[in-house]
Amino acid sequence: MEETRLQNQNISILLGENPTAGMRIIRAMLKEAIGEKAEIAEVDTFAAAEKALANERFDLLLLDMDLPDSHQLRSVEAIRAVTKAPLIVLGNTKDHTLALNILRAGAEDFLCKNSISACSLSRAISFAIERNSTRMGELERLQLLELREDFMLTLTHDLKNPLLGANRLIDLIAGGNTGISIEEQRSLLYQIKDSNESLLALVQSLYEVYKYERDLQQLHLEKTDLLAVVNHYLRSVRHLMEDKRIVTHVVNNAHNAVVLADSLSISRVVQNLIENAIKFSPIDGRVEINLRTEADHVTLHVADEGPGIEPQDLQKLFLRFYQGRPGRSYDYGMGLGLYLCRQIVEAHSGKIWCAPNEETGTVFTVSLPATVQPAGPGQ
């Protein structure tokens, strides 16, 4: 039975109840419906609820429409704006239009306090959690479709423009213009070559995303030294760093930087992060690469001195197809490179995230399980 399933779960609930005839009846019903494992935090105003939501995550919200500072629909909308958790609104109103508008404002259910029982409350909670899960899934699907549409428009633009430019250069050379010297023709051909290499890099990114999505379940795990992977890639891009006079500083604070990983896949992650750091650092900039052992994980930090990333974009950079907002001064790989990094890292039971650098730029961090536990004091 659904009520039994709920009673076996640890669930955190934010409860805001206006006393009925001087009594708080919902908390007692919650204990009966869900059991003692329920963690209930109580507030007495919508303002207090918003404050609690700013500091803590809850699995379920039960908020009374008759709280002292309630503004009816506006209060429900304000709560929904700060959390995606399932929301059940309580009240004594018999106004069906108001109840319907409360649902439209984002609540999963509206319960009349005069007719609630422990059984009906348990059922309502189960349904609210299920509705919320379905709604969030649909919202994510729509967001992905929107991102994909934006991505395809950008991809079409980025494929078309280099081809148009190359065609103009080819027409210029093939036209037999006698005013173009052999040296100038050679320069034009190199421009075409550079344009083609950019297109190939873009196509390669697309190929790798779909290839890794298909093959991530077939990783070939072996002991991989992250420091060796970093140094190997830095040697291969020495010319890029010299062109921009970029200084790289590698610090190995890891007791043991060996992880159990698919070396080719992890090399792709290291390549992407360092390549981006070099790309977005200014001339005469500095890229800091730091390896550390933290508990039972090895962490890799790559910090650049680039333009930085807006706070609202930090959590979205790793989404598939996400390219940031128009007018930004950074573009981390057509919305594919960092998505691919996240897929690879998570396939290794690791984590990847980014944060603002202390002064300027961005720090990307990868945390992977270590193959050897760090030595304790005196070992």
Write out pLDDT tens, residues 281-339: 899 999 999 999 887 899 999 999 888 877 767 666 776 655 554 444 444 444 567 88
**C-alpha distances in angstroms, 249 versus 75, 83, 246, 304?**
52, 41, 10, 11
Class of the domain covering 220-369: alpha beta
pTM of the model: 0.51
Phi, psi of 223 (to 5 degrees): -65, 125
Query: How does pLDDT run across 267-280, given as a tens digit for each residue?
Result: 889 988 998 899 88
Answer yes or no: same fold for 2-138 and 220-369.
no
What does the pLDDT look like over 173-182, one tens digit per residue?
777 665 677 7
Show me where the domains of the chain are located. Answer: 2-138, 149-217, 220-369
Chain segment 199-237, per-residue pLDDT in tens = 777 677 667 666 666 665 577 889 999 999 999 989 888
CATH class of 149-217: mainly alpha
- CATH 3.40.50.2300, domain 2-138, yes or no: yes
Token pair in block for residue 330: 């950074």
**Rg of the chain on CA atoms, in Å:** 28
Higher pLDDT, 22 or 31: 31
Alpha-carbon gap, residue 64 to 52, rounded angstroms = 15
How far is residue 254's CA from residue 263's CA, in Å, rounded to a whole number? 18
Q: What is the pLDDT of residue 4?
A: 46
Q: SS3 of 259, please? A: strand
33 or 133, higher pLDDT: 133
**pLDDT above 70 (res 7):** no
The model's pLDDT over 108-123, given as tens digits with 9 standing for 90+, comes to 999 988 888 888 888 8
Q: What is the pLDDT of residue 153?
A: 63
Mean pLDDT, the chain, whole residue set:
80
Mean predicted confidence (pLDDT) in 162-184 = 74
